[in-house]
Amino acid sequence: MDLHEGLNGTRFRPSPTVKSVASGDIIVTRTYSDRFDADTAVIPRSEAFGVTVQLRDFHSQRLWRGGRLVHDGGGAKGSLAITDLRDQWRCHSHSPFDNVRFQIPFSRLRAFTEEAGRSEYVALSCFSGRIDPVMHGLAQALLPSLDNPEQANPLFLEQINLAMLAHLSQTYGGLHFPVDKKGTLAPWQERLATEFLAAHFNKPFSIGDLASRCELSRSYFNKAFKESFGRTPSKWLTEYRIARVKELLLQDLSIAEVAINCGFADQSHMTRVFTSLTGDTPARFRRKNRPFVVASEPLGA
């Protein structure tokens, strides 16, 4: 057992070292320990995503979400985990570890996409264990700031966070930034189109009307929209609706209410579309992501 001796001769286990630095509403925290049996850490709930980057290999960790064990094993250096911090997360490490965690408010991610001219409804895909060299590099670049937060350069922190938000939103949020601007919508057209689609996601409208608002023919608008966003307007709208469905499934609404609120004809229609895009039924998605919520819908919903 890894014990240290205090001034009075008592033996104790040192706690993991925690260092944090904030840039606006994004909090970056490094936590590391050389112990083989660390204390259990409870991550406070928040309206935010947690993005954790491993700076070294670790061999044994147990992770609970809402009281349910979801991981029991190790992880590789450079691996990434994205978690929804509205859930209650608890972690117990049984081997040395070193990681950097970004706490990103939902509001900050959405503000970033809007500032970038992309008003899509972006939510990051939650997973663990994927190697991500970009996030690993950004986490390492922040280590001097984490060691001396009082001397950290605010402009440097802001630029790192902007790079991090751009990478995460494109890689795990489905955001599309065209490399070649030829044949795309103008910035004002992109903004008008996405704002119009978002405002009409649960009500009927005409693509022709939207094209006219952008001062384009319907056929040219469809082509230019796809060049700008990597998907057709109907595909963009469907993905936006499903993102809204995922949000509402984590709340205390019935699946039928979610379907109506998100502009689907009925629960069956929403289930078909949701399953085709995600591979899960809405009910299964809810059970996986809100395991402590008892849903009244049948298992096949």
Same-domain pairing of 206 and 259:
no
State which of 72-76, 100-104, 109-113, 288-292 shows the largest mean pLDDT. Answer: 100-104
Residue 220 lies in a domain: yes
Position 299 pLDDT exceeds 60: no
Residue 102 CA to residue 52 CA, distance in Å, equals: 6
Residues 165 and 194 in one domain: no
> Over pLDDT 90: what percentage of the chain?
48
pLDDT value at residue 48: 93
Residue 54 to residues 76, 133, 166, 173, Cα–Cα distance (Å): 7, 11, 20, 21
Domain-embedded: residue 180? no
What's the pTM? 0.70
In a domain, 282, yes or no: yes
Note down the domain range covering 222: 187-230
In a domain, 139, yes or no: yes
Would you state the pLDDT for residue 247? 85
Number of domains in the chain: 3
Q: Which residue has the higher pLDDT, 206 or 176?
A: 206
pLDDT for residue 295? 40
Examine the domain organization and report whether 259 and 279 are in the same domain: yes
Q: Are residue 113 and residue 75 in the same domain, yes or no?
A: yes
CA atoms within 13 A on the CB side of 226: 9
Selection from 147-151, 177-181, 294-298 with the highest mean pLDDT: 147-151
The CATH number given to whatever domain includes residue 126 is 2.60.120.10
For CA atoms 65, 70, 73, 79, the dihedral sign is negative
Q: Within a domain: residue 298?
A: no
Intra-chain end-to-end CA distance of the chain, in Å: 50
Residues 133 and 247 grouped into a single domain: no
Q: Please state, in angstroms and as integers, the Cα–Cα distance from residue 9 to each residue in 4, 49, 225, 288, following that order.
A: 9, 43, 71, 48
Give domain status of residue 126, yes or no. yes
Q: pLDDT exceeding 70 applies to what percent of the chain?
A: 89
Q: In the chain, helix, strand, coil percent, each to 5?
A: 40, 25, 35
pLDDT of residue 14: 59
Q: Are residues 281 and 208 in the same domain?
A: no
H helix count then E strand count, the chain: 11, 12
Say if residue 47 is exposed, middle or buried (CB neighbours under 10 Å; 0-12, 13-18, 19+): exposed
Instruction: Give the pLDDT score at 290.
Output: 66
Is residue 177 domain-resident? no
Residue 76 corresponds to which amino acid?
A
> What does the pLDDT look like over 54-105, one tens digit per residue?
999 999 889 998 888 888 888 899 999 999 998 889 998 889 999 999 999 9
Q: Are residues 110 and 225 in the same domain?
A: no
Asked whether residue 201 falls in the same domain as residue 119, the answer is: no
Looking at the fold, whether 20 and 132 belong to one and the same domain comes out as yes
The arithmetic mean of pLDDT across residues 44-49, rounded, is 91
Q: Do both 18 and 140 map to the same domain? A: yes
CATH number at residue 241: 1.10.10.60
pLDDT, tens digit, 9 for 90 and up, residues 192-229: 998 899 888 888 899 999 999 999 999 999 999 999 88
In a domain, 10, yes or no: yes
81-85, 113-117, 149-153, 194-198: lowest mean pLDDT where?
113-117
Last residue of a domain, one of 195, 212, 230: 230
**40 and 148 together in one domain:** yes
Segment 220-259, tens digit of pLDDT: 999 999 998 888 999 999 988 998 898 899 888 999 999 9
User: What pLDDT score was predicted for residue 40?
Assistant: 79
> Residue 198: how many CB atoms within 10 A of its CB?
15
Same domain (yes/no): 136, 211: no
Q: Say yes or no to pLDDT of 294 above 70.
A: no
Q: Name the phi and psi angles at 205, rounded to 5.
A: -160, 170
